[in-house]
Structure 1
Amino acid sequence: MPAKRQPARPPAEHAPLELEHFLPYQLSIVSNTVSQAIADDYQRRFDLGVTEWRVMAVLARFDGLSAREVAERTAMDKVAVSRALARLVEAGRVDRATHDGDKRRSVLNLSEAGWAIHDQVAPMARQRERELLAKLDAEEQAWLERILGKLMPPEH
């Protein structure tokens, strides 16, 4: 009786990804872990989601953007940004106006209430960043900054 043949292994390019060694996965895990640690603070205190906070942070940095520009600057899905903006406008945290009377283009800015929240959350976020970076020595921090600078899209 002939021996059973083992099925052929797929070529390396078709083998399952070892996610724990796959850079995009690793970056995603680090990003999600850090973002969620910060988010736990502001979600509880301000009923603010991660996408909403990112939108607010971008509007604090860049005045008078459109929803499309916010989505571009955050590299987030346009639908998610649109929903976050709707919640922020409804909550009175973002003001929406028309651009020079052109009703097709809205201009977004943090409201006074939005700035009040931003001015409490931003220091918390910076503190979390300091805690994370404290795990690296000065040389590692410099390398991380250089590497991320090379990997970031040019418009960010």
Structure 2
Amino acid sequence: MGTNGEHRVGQTPPESAVTEPLAEIIDPENFTPRLLALLSNALVWRESHELRRRFGLGTNDWRVISAIAIRPGVSATFVSGFLGLNKAVVSKSVSTLVGRGLVVLSDGPRGSRPMYLTAGGAQMHEDMLPISMRGQEIILADLSPQEIGRLNTLLRRMLEKTRELRVLESEADAAG
């Protein structure tokens, strides 16, 4: 196929290939999960690119710094759940941040050690914050305060429904 999804001239599809669009498909211009994913991907790419360019750190590193800024003394296990990130991803970011002198760990078992920003980490948070907030500005630019409140309420409700669904699917997997 060519880059636009069309067959290239002169190419014959395999005999078993379905060459016509299916009758029941998703309308890509009005499928909300696709639009949300595209928006999220674009915002994360922009943020990550800028954070790497300016600070040599990525979005996951920023998220860990931000989580520690919100709750000094949190554990990596808490941060993983709070951010919805794999523990290995959080562990890698924590190692990077400790290595850069931006985060310090207290004593305790691995994964449950309290983490704190250093003065350098607090400064890094302050420096990185406007880059992240720019994504917020892009999303909210055309919304009234009431619409913003409603949007955030709806997004929190949708997140809760996905968590509930994940629990139900896990229980079904365990039973089946």
Q: Which amino acid aligns with 1:89?
A: V
Q: What TM-score comes out, normalization by structure 1 length?
A: 0.75
Structure 1 spans left out of the alignment, 5+ residues: 1-6
2:128 equivalent to 1:121: yes
2:51 equivalent to 1:45: no
Q: Percent identity?
A: 26
Mapped contact 1:58–1:70 kept (Cα < 8 A): yes
Structure 2 spans left out of the alignment, 5+ residues: 1-17, 164-176
Q: Which amino acid aligns with 1:69?
A: F
Q: What TM-score comes out, normalization by structure 2 length?
A: 0.67
* Among candidates 151, 154, 159, match of residue 152 of structure 1: 159
1:3 equivalent in structure 2: none
Q: CA deviation at 1:39?
A: 2.5
Summarize the Cα distance change of 1:127–1:17 in structure 2 as closer, same or farther, 3 Å threshold: closer
Q: CA deviation at 1:83?
A: 0.7
2:77 equivalent in structure 1: 68
1:64-143 equivalences under 5 Å are 64-99=73-108, 105-143=112-150
Mapped contact 1:98–1:104 kept (Cα < 8 A): no
For residues 52 and 104 of structure 1, the distance between their equivalents in structure 2, rounded to whole angstroms, comes to 16
Larger RCO (CA within 8 A; separation ≥ 6): 1
**Structure 1, 105-114 or 50-59: larger mean CA deviation:** 105-114
What is the DSSP-based 3-state SS (H/G/I as helix, E as strand, rest coil) of the residue aligned with 2:114?
A: strand
Aligned residues: 143
For residues 73 and 63 of structure 2, the distance between their equivalents in structure 1, rounded to whole angstroms, comes to 15
Cα deviations by residue, 1:15-40 (Å, 9 ceiling, x for unpaired): 77666655444332222211222232
Summarize the Cα distance change of 1:77–1:129 in structure 2 as closer, same or farther, 3 Å threshold: same
